[in-house]
Amino acid sequence: RFREGLKVLGVLENIQKYPEIFAELLCYKPQKLTAEKFENLFSINFSPEESTRRIAESRVIGFWRNYLADIEDGTTKASFEQILTFATGTSASPAISFLPNPSIKFLHSDGIIQYRFPTGQTCLNCLKLPMSKTYEEFKECVDFAIFNTPGLKRM
Give the integer Cα–Cα distance in Å for 114 and 15.
58
- What are the extents of the domains in the chain? 1-30, 35-148
Report yes or no: 51 and 88 within 8 Å, Cβ to Cβ.
no
Q: How far apart are CA 155 and CA 135, in angstroms?
A: 23
Q: Say which CATH superfamily domain 35-148 falls into.
A: Hect, E3 ligase catalytic domain (3.30.2410.10)
* DSSP label at residue 119: E
Active site residue 27: no
Please tell me which residue in 27, 123, 126, 141 is annotated as part of the active site: 123
Beta bridge partners of 105: 128
Per-residue pLDDT of the chain (155 residues; tens, 9 = 90+): 888 888 888 888 988 998 888 887 787 777 788 999 999 999 999 999 988 899 999 999 999 999 999 999 999 889 999 999 999 998 888 877 889 999 999 999 877 777 899 999 999 999 999 999 999 999 999 999 999 987 765 54
Q: Are 53 and 110 in contact (CB under 8 A)?
A: no
pTM, full prediction: 0.79
Alpha-helical regions (H) of the chain: 2-8, 11-17, 19-26, 35-41, 52-73, 80-88, 135-147
